[in-house]
Structure 1
Amino acid sequence: MAAYEVEVATGDMKEAGTWDNVYVTLFGAAGQSERTELDNYGPNFNRGTVSGTQFCACAFISTLGKLLLVKVEKDPFLVRKDDEWYCSKIVVTTPEGEVLLFPCYRWISREELVELRGGRAMKVFEDDHPLLVDHRRNEMMQRKSFYQYVFIWAVQRPEYSLKGFSGEMSMCLFVTLFTRLFDDVGLHGYIYESAFEALMAVCCLILYLVFPLLSFTSSPISGLELKIKGLLGSAEKWKNIDDMKKIFWFRSTTMSEYVAEHWKEDDFYGFQFLNGVNPSVIKRCSELSQNFPVTEEMVKPFLEEGTSLQNEMKKGNIFIYDQKKMDGIPARLYDGETLRVTGGLCLFYLNPENKLMPIAIQLHQQPSEENPIFLPSDLETDWLLAKMFIENADSMDHQAVHHLMNTHFLIEVYTVATLRCLPVIHPIYKLLFPHFRYTLSVNTSGRDSLFGPEGALSIVCSLGHAGLMELMRRSHSEVTYSSLCLPENIAARGLESIPNFYYRDDGLKLWDIISSFVGAVVENYYPSDSDVHKDTELQDWISEIFTHGFLGNKASGFPSSFHTVKDVTKFITLVIFTSTAQHAAVNNGQFDYYSWPPNVSILLHKRPPTTKGQSSMTTILETLPNVGETAGLIAMARLLSEKYDDVVPFGTYPEERFDEPALKQMIKEFQAELSFLTEEIAARNSQLEIPYTYLIPNQMENSITI
């Protein structure tokens, strides 16, 4: 009679254990075992423990043959509320001594049945046993019924108008309909409690800001409320810029303090367009458009002596920020009046000291007498206001497009397509899924509370919800495959050689490291291009992403199918880079740069200046958010940049999903490359006045969690 040893690991997290009875059935090519309870002397399945037991197969079966599946069931032990159990993995040792890994990494409810695949990752055309073929088919049918895409296009398809998303929007990536939420994607209260509470704190803070008479008693806000109680809800205007520093006892960083001291300086203003939270917007300028009539005489005082604007453009030293997609987007009402948002232009000059300096700003697209070109030689407060309105527009573009749309929502599309098209045994599922941890959860929680019509972001920015949605609609129509792939993005913007561009330097190194790792994994499972063609699940995966994420737009350049191993490697590199490095670049510095509203404010009250010489510091204070709004914006910036107790650093992969020694070695080599880059960046940063820290590998997360 054959004996099998089964070890079951329980997750090391809050409430991971269970009092319920756990049963296991083994399925092999030659038969199945009896349904056997896993039981040891003493407590079983406690948090962070491994429970093992010996049991025998059915008496009439001498061997189960090749082990194919493990079925896990959980039955009530006591009459009590349903307790969920987090099973990390099951390891089975066969009578022949073969050790097989069956990854689980999900919560299992009472009376729930879970079937696990084990051994090496398998593609669809490699499954030849009827049991495995049926299991694979049933898994994907179930997942496709649980996860569905929903287009938000209210005019044409009103039946899909969900709460919080009733305006026109052509992008399914804003709302994905989950008829059920799988626990293996991190949608569970125990493991996501801290992040969920932080998100709720954001909402409570902003609601308290806008409706100060409301009473909030929930625990997430209590600690913060006590600290800033005297500021939130106040409609008083700031009387002095330096008074804003009173909020910093609430929290500050070295970088946020630097920003508060240097926000007026032009070289620091230019630095932020390279290394701030939105480093993907400027490009090299070789010719000025007719709607931005900057003359030689205007900018000559700000160029190197003896040169000209035309010469500097030829040398590649002139750069432009053009926010034309903001032009004409209606802003929201504030105290009965419509706010104004500028779709402006800003010209930069890379001076001989390698500093990127703003030299001309036009706040609207069409030149006119009421749309002057502001210059550094203008009245100081005129120039400061012009820079503030450019940053105001850029901050909304950053939040709505480069942060939410191009990281959170795109990764949501990739995640849902993975759940719908790739079974857990698929090599690409195993490779990608650690980078999807918690993303659906934070997107689901924040879609209404942060981004909906009454969400925190919508009610504190100048555009408002409808304006943000229109901005995203316009931006999505311009998204291309190459614009999201960092090497091509940098080349297209002509920024390959601009100095002191640390986002580019660190980002390209990370891209190469990720690409090398992904290439090794992909080539291990797809030795030839014909293997890529034969994998119908992989082809369905990229087809769904192309159709639902990019609306089948062939002009975008996104692949609708894979033809080569290189095609697969490039796209998966993009997915991992987006969920780790790109999100870190646009997310982790929010408190550093947004906690000082004179530097960047997503909300400005007064209209942009239309004439020169009429402003003062009082004008700036009246333009900036009031005391209560400032406190709320700083609190939101803090919470959106927060770290949590169960952070998984980039490249660590605590979940053991791959059983093959070759893959484990690839992961070790990948981690070694990331460690080397961490040391390299640290050495460089030690020599910089303003260290760039957002793409340090060991300070980045493995997925989007906030």
Structure 2
Amino acid sequence: MTEYKLEVTTGDIQEAGTWDHIFITLFGTEGQSERTELDNFGIDFATGTTGNYTMSTNLSLGKLLLIKVEKDPALILPEDEWYFSKIVVTTPEGEAILFPCYRWISRGELVELRGGKALKAFEEDHPMLIDHRKQELILKKISYQWKHLAEGLTHISQFNNESELPAEIRFSKSKSTEIVMVKMQTTLELKLKGLFGSLEQWESIEDLKNIFQWKKTTMSEYVSEHWKEDDFYGFQFLNGLNPNAIKRCSELPPNFPVTEEMVKPFLEEGSSLQEELKKGNIFLSDQKMMDGIRPRVYNGEPLHVTPGLCLLYVNPENKLMPIAIQLHQQPSELNPIFLPSDLETDWLLAKMFIKNADSIDHQSVHHLLKTHYLTEVYIVASLRSFSAIHPLYKLLFPHFRFTLDINIRGRANLFGPDGSISKSSLGYDGQMVLMARALSEITYSSLCLPENITARGLESVPNFYYRDDGLNLWNIINSFVKAVVGYYYPSDSEVRKDTELQEWISEIFTHGFLGNTASGFPASFDTVEEVIKFITMLIFTVTGQHAAVNSGQFDYYSWAPNQSLLLIKPPPTTKGQSSMKTILETLPDVGQTVTFSALVWLLAQEYTDEVALGTYPDERFHEPALKQMIKEFQAALSDLSEAISTRNLQLEIPYTYLNPPEIENSIAI
């Protein structure tokens, strides 16, 4: 008799264990074992445990190729899914082979697992494995299909409800439960206070502090105290929720007729606008992409979205200050240029309308489109194109955790036609038009942070912590990806003959960027360097970039006067006519305000099963070299975290969103 030793691990997550019977069949080059039940004395497959089993065969099976795992019911018990992590099989020759699974298995389900070194399709050398891989990809293409969302937008997965998702990509049970509890508790608190659904207007700015007396962060408190200040307003263009909105301005746009006399009082004494333009100290936020989009109808009348222009100046104290605002693209008597020297409430209103447009741009383009929706494309293409044994699938899958689930929920509850985000001034239809416009103009280089920073002329702007931390993070991710990709692709020819890799990038180009060659996105890969760059961009997008535009939402959005997606009165068309009463009337009513606040509180929560960047609790790689690369990646992230934490101790406003322990390994909320 020949013996195989099996270590079978059940996941350490909520309700991972099972009472059902588990059967194993081993397949090798010389034959297969009998279907054998794994059954020790006592309880098998309890949550977070590893069971040791022995399987006997009459003869050696040769090189071990596949394991078939079947889950049959215990007759008297109701259905229970099993979260099966991995099997490590020690062969009679003493070789220990890892067979990763890391997914839920339902009653009656059969799973076939590949083990050992990650392999590209052309490296398969056994007819059984070649056929198995072919059949696996056929089934994947049936399970994961593309669907059109709207004209001019990225394609999405075909699933209409999160309950339709395969178990391996659904939310964990604990996360689903926690989200429901946070929603219930928050809604109950607001109802008890009489705020939820209220149609009343705010009577004073101070009243907004009563929305959540106990739900606060250090940053949200700071925002509520400093929202009127120009230096903090400018700071947010660099280190707030939308740090990709401004660019260096070498000459003023012809439709923004700011004169020397207008802004001279706000420049360094003795200097001029032209001198500051030449020095590179003038910056511009221009929301021209929104121009002409029809806003949402509210109480029978269209709302107002101002596709405005905001001129900013880095002053001698190295602070970025707003110095001129025009709320619409075409100058006119009813579209004056507002200045810091105007009536305080005029200037506040102008800044609020610019921030309203910036907020819509943030949520629709930089958050939803460029992180959530593009990542959905990367995920669906991966699930359709890569075998589970492919090295890039093993590398990328941990970065796709929960994203399809949150996107599907989001399309129903957040940014769908009836979603909270679609209650913005622009509304759902306008948001879709804006995203389609943005996608048509998006470039590959704009998603690659080093090129993005250079193209916008922001290499030397002081106090730009998003840039500093982001570039460090980009370089660390790039070094890790370079090591992993270089290990599996020693030459460019390996890239060119990897059919799964080529199909993957082709699907992304077709379904994500709609075949737009002008975008600069690759439709195929010819070199190892091209693969390294694209995967660096992908991992940075789903980790650091998403954290930068997502993690601070409660900090900045919970104080509506600072940043609101909805403003309900028209923008000012003349100067000297406003008051604090005007500002209160412009803000959303009480019920709408608290709905937004409740939403961003939900998004700000830390959930018990979060996985931080660089943490790979699932053991997917068999090769020791890959495990060492992960350790080096984690060490580099730890060094960056220490540097960021040390710097933040010296700052009045610490920038924490790109501190690696604060970044999730995937878009999971």
Question: Which TM-score bucket, shorter chain as reference?
Answer: over 0.9
State the partner residue of 2:168.
184
Matching of residues 25-36 of structure 1 within 5 Å: 25-36=25-36
Does residue 320 (structure 1) correspond to residue 284 (structure 2)? The answer is: yes
Normalised TM-score (structure 1): 0.93
Report Cα offsets for 1:104-130 as digits up to 9, x if no partner: 001111111100000010000000101
CA separation in 2, counterparts of 1:108 and 1:647? Answer: 22
State the partner residue of 2:585.
622
Residue pair 1:350, 1:356 contacting (<8 A) in 2 also: yes
1:78 pairs with one of 47, 55, 75: 75
Does residue 500 (structure 1) correspond to residue 492 (structure 2)? The answer is: no
Does residue 689 (structure 1) correspond to residue 624 (structure 2)? The answer is: no
Deviates further, 445-454 or 684-693: 445-454
Identical-residue share of aligned pairs (%): 67
State the partner residue of 1:291.
255
Residue pair 1:71, 1:114 contacting (<8 A) in 2 also: yes
Normalised TM-score (structure 2): 0.98
Does residue 247 (structure 1) correspond to residue 216 (structure 2)? The answer is: no
CA separation in 1, counterparts of 2:309 and 2:596? Answer: 26
Residue pair 1:147, 1:420 contacting (<8 A) in 2 also: yes
State the partner residue of 1:385.
349
State the partner residue of 1:9.
9
Displacement of 1:244 in angstroms is 1.1
CA separation in 1, counterparts of 2:514 and 2:459? Answer: 31
Displacement of 1:227 in angstroms is 4.8
State the partner residue of 2:52.
52
State the partner residue of 1:433.
397
Residue pair 1:325, 1:475 contacting (<8 A) in 2 also: yes
Does residue 273 (structure 1) correspond to residue 270 (structure 2)? The answer is: no
Residue pair 2:478, 2:536 contacting (<8 A) in 1 also: yes
User: Amino acid of the residue matched to residue 71 of structure 2?
Assistant: K
Report Cα offsets for 1:191-223 as digits up to 9, x if no partner: 54246526xx6xxxxxxxxxxxxxxxxxx4245
Displacement of 1:585 in angstroms is 0.3
User: Amino acid of the residue matched to residue 78 of structure 1?
Assistant: L
Taking a change above 3 Å as real, the CA distance of residues 90 and 191 of structure 1, as seen in their structure-2 partners, is: farther
2:569 pairs with one of 606, 609, 626: 606
State the partner residue of 1:115.
112
CA separation in 1, counterparts of 2:466 and 2:295? Answer: 31
Unpaired runs of 5+ in structure 1? 154-168, 202-219
CA separation in 2, counterparts of 1:532 and 1:340? Answer: 51
Matching of residues 393-432 of structure 1 within 5 Å: 393-432=357-396
CA separation in 1, counterparts of 2:524 and 2:561? Answer: 47
User: Amino acid of the residue matched to residue 117 of structure 2?
Assistant: R
Matching of residues 164-179 of structure 1 within 5 Å: 169-174=151-156, 176-177=158-159
Displacement of 1:188 in angstroms is 4.7
Displacement of 1:13 in angstroms is 1.2
State the partner residue of 2:294.
330
State the partner residue of 1:642.
605
User: Amino acid of the residue matched to residue 406 of structure 1?
Assistant: K
State the partner residue of 1:672.
635
Displacement of 1:238 in angstroms is 1.3
User: Amino acid of the residue matched to residue 56 of structure 1?
Assistant: S
Matching of residues 568-579 of structure 1 within 5 Å: 568-579=531-542
Does residue 129 (structure 1) correspond to residue 112 (structure 2)? The answer is: no
State the partner residue of 1:581.
544
Taking a change above 3 Å as real, the CA distance of residues 175 and 426 of structure 1, as seen in their structure-2 partners, is: closer
Matching of residues 333-348 of structure 1 within 5 Å: 333-348=297-312
State the partner residue of 1:166.
none
Report Cα offsets for 1:410-445 as digits up to 9, x if no partner: 111000000000011000000000000000111111
Report Cα offsets for 1:481-513 as digits up to 9, x if no partner: 000100000000000010100000000000000
Taking a change above 3 Å as real, the CA distance of residues 592 and 178 of structure 1, as seen in their structure-2 partners, is: closer
Taking a change above 3 Å as real, the CA distance of residues 304 and 222 of structure 1, as seen in their structure-2 partners, is: closer
Does residue 563 (structure 1) correspond to residue 547 (structure 2)? The answer is: no
CA separation in 2, counterparts of 1:97 and 1:468? Answer: 60
Residue pair 1:69, 1:117 contacting (<8 A) in 2 also: yes
CA separation in 2, counterparts of 1:410 and 1:550? Answer: 9
CA separation in 1, counterparts of 2:648 and 2:185? Answer: 37
SS of 2:23's equivalent in the other structure is strand
Residue pair 2:186, 2:598 contacting (<8 A) in 1 also: no
Deviates further, 80-89 or 402-411: 80-89
Q: Which runs of 4+ in 1 moved over 6 A?
A: none
Displacement of 1:559 in angstroms is 0.4
User: Amino acid of the residue matched to residue 263 of structure 1?
Assistant: W
Displacement of 1:177 in angstroms is 4.3
User: Amino acid of the residue matched to residue 506 of structure 2?
Assistant: S
Displacement of 1:226 in angstroms is 3.0
Displacement of 1:172 in angstroms is 3.5
SS of 1:249's equivalent in the other structure is coil
Residue pair 1:194, 1:644 contacting (<8 A) in 2 also: no
CA separation in 2, counterparts of 1:250 and 1:470? Answer: 38
SS of 2:112's equivalent in the other structure is strand
Displacement of 1:224 in angstroms is 3.8
Displacement of 1:630 in angstroms is 1.7
Q: What RMSD in Å do the two structures reach over aligned CA positions?
A: 1.3
CA separation in 1, counterparts of 2:232 and 2:126? Answer: 64
SS of 1:621's equivalent in the other structure is helix
Residue pair 1:195, 1:705 contacting (<8 A) in 2 also: no
Displacement of 1:80 in angstroms is 3.6
State the partner residue of 1:704.
667
Report how many aligned residue pairs link the two structures. 666
Matching of residues 186-265 of structure 1 within 5 Å: 187-188=170-171, 190-194=173-177, 196-197=179-180, 220-222=183-185, 224-229=187-192, 230-265=194-229
CA separation in 1, counterparts of 2:311 and 2:14? Answer: 53
Report Cα offsets for 1:517-575 as digits up to 9, x if no partner: 00000000000001001101000000000000000000000000011110000000011
SS of 2:305's equivalent in the other structure is coil
Deviates further, 622-631 or 682-691: 622-631
SS of 2:145's equivalent in the other structure is strand
Does residue 467 (structure 1) correspond to residue 450 (structure 2)? The answer is: no
Residue pair 1:148, 1:178 contacting (<8 A) in 2 also: no
State the partner residue of 2:99.
102
CA separation in 2, counterparts of 1:191 and 1:434? Answer: 18
Does residue 142 (structure 1) correspond to residue 139 (structure 2)? The answer is: yes
State the partner residue of 1:164.
none
SS of 2:212's equivalent in the other structure is helix
CA separation in 1, counterparts of 2:363 and 2:653? Answer: 23
Residue pair 1:424, 1:430 contacting (<8 A) in 2 also: yes
Report Cα offsets for 1:633-671 as digits up to 9, x if no partner: 111111122210100111010000001000000000000
SS of 1:613's equivalent in the other structure is coil
1:592 pairs with one of 555, 568, 580: 555
CA separation in 1, counterparts of 2:9 and 2:354? Answer: 54
State the partner residue of 2:43.
43
CA separation in 1, counterparts of 2:77 and 2:397? Answer: 33
User: Amino acid of the residue matched to residue 311 of structure 2?
Assistant: L
Taking a change above 3 Å as real, the CA distance of residues 302 and 223 of structure 1, as seen in their structure-2 partners, is: closer
CA separation in 2, counterparts of 1:44 and 1:175? Answer: 37
CA separation in 2, counterparts of 1:544 and 1:176? Answer: 15
SS of 1:248's equivalent in the other structure is coil
Residue pair 2:153, 2:435 contacting (<8 A) in 1 also: no
User: Amino acid of the residue matched to residue 170 of structure 1?
Assistant: G
State the partner residue of 2:443.
480
State the partner residue of 1:449.
413
